[in-house]
Structure 1
């Protein structure tokens, strides 16, 4: 029998989406961000990310076929989302994950955990040996065993990320190009990959 990814108590101690957003806002008001590392740079990234998440929360339109797939889910799932407030990819993706869960009418519940407070979990879901986020871990809501996982970013963005990384670009240029891709893509790649993930669950 598969082992639960985490205990019910630990899941219950996770953040809801509103609580996650509130945490980031409260830390921002203090000139801080999530996680043990604090710097003006990370705080500035977080400020940008708050704007990105706020914009996406208001403008996301789920693909009709994704909405249909959510409606057809056969049982309840808990989505465990490993993230941090300073992470730009998380700001582009987390609102999409939340929108999908909200469209499920309660079939999908979301549970947010901060990466650096949960390294034992994060280290089960490394990407090329790195602690890349956001990471979505789909759990059976009853058993808390893993069904599948996804992340840290859609495949076209991941290819671009690896290409830019190989060029040793300054971070600002690297980040500008990657977020430019997200802006042009308008969450479509993320939605299509989540559609494939949900189709596999049906």
Structure 2
């Protein structure tokens, strides 16, 4: 489906047509930032929240780990923090059957927030996966990680805008992911520690649109 030029907003409890979730994903009217303020939507009455930082026990572990999406296959390095990181678990927002013409710009608002500390390097990323392997797309792009926030003395990014300009026609799937993570200090590390699954982060998404 071509994404509309008007904003895709998340104004109902259910996700809009064309979107699906893996892990704990829901629309919300607000959320309390770990830095203190209440975060409202950038547009409309709701945003979509990837993962649920409130659904934890006294140890700050998930009440039901089976609800989370296992992400131990993910390996990322943020170009800003420079820390190699392995994923643990988290959540994903998916939009399939997307067509974006060459020269068009995909724009979306996002807000990343964390409740943990290093070496548990939680992160958020975006990817545009083409229908066929050799076709045009965008490989995994790190929006932000915990280390970058910590370097700035913050636990939440505030609302930010990201833009991806299609340099060729794109046909495929858009994915936004938020993940618990752990810094890879040992190159032989294959699985994250149990503690990496605590303090789930959150990624808020709002106001997705394609511009000419």
TM-score range, shorter chain: under 0.3
Question: Under a length normalisation based on structure 2, what TM-score does the superposition of the two structures give?
Answer: 0.25
Question: Whose RCO is larger (CA < 8 A, sep 6+)?
Answer: 2
Which is richer in helix?
Answer: 1
TM-score scaled by length of structure 1: 0.26
